Amino acid sequence: MSGHSKWATIKRQKGVADSRRGAMFTKFTREIIIATRQGGASPEGNFRLRLAIQKARDNNMPKDNIENAIKKGSGAAEGTIFNEIIMEGYGPAGIAILLEAMTDNRNRTVSEIRSTFMKYNGNLGENGSVSWMFENTGVITVDTSGIDPDELALYAIDAGARDVKEDKALLEIYTEPKEFENVKLAIEKRKKPISAEVTMLPMNTVSLPEKESLQTVKLLEKLEELDDVQRVFSNLEYSDALIEKLKSEA
């Protein structure tokens, strides 16, 4: 199982503070606006918008907020114009970092991201420097307590999943992006997933000593906290020992 996905799942299970929930809603709003602007206001014909709406709903974003974001994206309501940018860089000990941002001021966003990298022993890279290390993949995580994980894994494969990995009471299901929705709908007939998203997975991960691992996680979390940053990905290996250390410090 992807260690980062496991750690992200653990953090979600711990709950989100109200202050962080407001920041999450802002990120969901921007994603919905961009998705609507690029593919139209109809979720039925806009895959990215369907995913954005579902993610917002899964995190209890109010319906009015979602509808207002769609209106802004379609031009039916006034709103700030956001542009999407992809940035790449390196963390402590050379860990690859890829991030997505949405901004109304590119210079401000780039400056904030560069400053955060430098503050936490990382540095920005050129376009294409690390993106080749990641693959666009659908990931569905299911708590297998109370169900047969082997049976669910076979069911997922039959539904179109590319691969499955089991770790204790969690089953992680991998799909091609085009198969994500079909597999997700099939899995939901058996059990509601803990999380489901199309993400950028590292093709290979890198293990670091504890000190450098913790430094890297700190950088990743600080980047995620930036208002303009939507998502952050890395090829850091999240070992069980590292996850336990992070849990103890959370």
Q: For residue 155, is pLDDT > 70?
A: yes
pTM for this model (two decimals):
0.86
β-bridge mates for residue 143, sequence order: 170
Q: For residue 107, is pLDDT > 90?
A: yes
106: phi then psi, degrees, rounded to nearest 5:
-60, -45
Distance CA 248, CA 74 (A): 45
According to the model, what pLDDT value does residue 95 have? 95
CATH 3.30.70.980 segments of the chain: 83-132+205-249, 134-202
* Residue 48 pLDDT grade (very low, low, confident, very high; cuts 50, 70, 90): very high
Residues 52-86 pLDDT 10s:
999 899 888 999 999 999 999 988 778 778 899 99
* Residue 242 pLDDT grade (very low, low, confident, very high; cuts 50, 70, 90): confident
53: phi then psi, degrees, rounded to nearest 5:
-65, -45
* Residue 22 pLDDT grade (very low, low, confident, very high; cuts 50, 70, 90): confident
Residues in the chain: 250
Residue 88 token pair:
């790449």
Contact 18, 9 (CB under 8 A): no
Between the CA of residue 119 and those of 39, 88, 215, what are the distances in Å?
A: 37, 16, 11
Contacts of 105 (CB under 8 A, 6+ apart): none
Greater confidence (4 vs 196) lies with 196
Say which CATH topology domain 83-132+205-249 has: Alpha-Beta Plaits (3.30.70)
Q: For residue 9, is pLDDT > 70?
A: no
Domain 3-74 has CATH 1.10.10.200: yes
Distance CA 72, CA 167 (A): 42
CATH 1.10.10.200 segments of the chain: 3-74
* Residue 3 pLDDT grade (very low, low, confident, very high; cuts 50, 70, 90): low
CATH of 134-202, one of 3.40.50.1100, 3.30.465.10, 3.30.365.10, 3.30.70.980: 3.30.70.980
Q: What percent of the chain has pLDDT over 70?
A: 91
Torsion angle in degrees (nearest 10) through CA of 35, 39, 44, 47: -60
* Residue 243 pLDDT grade (very low, low, confident, very high; cuts 50, 70, 90): confident
Q: For residue 216, is pLDDT > 60?
A: yes
pLDDT, mean over the chain: 89
What kind and span of H or E run contains 65?
A: helix 63-74
According to the model, what pLDDT value does residue 121 have? 93
According to the model, what pLDDT value does residue 206 have? 92
Nearest-CA neighbor of 84 among 117, 36, 25? 36
**pLDDT (average), residues 24-48:** 92
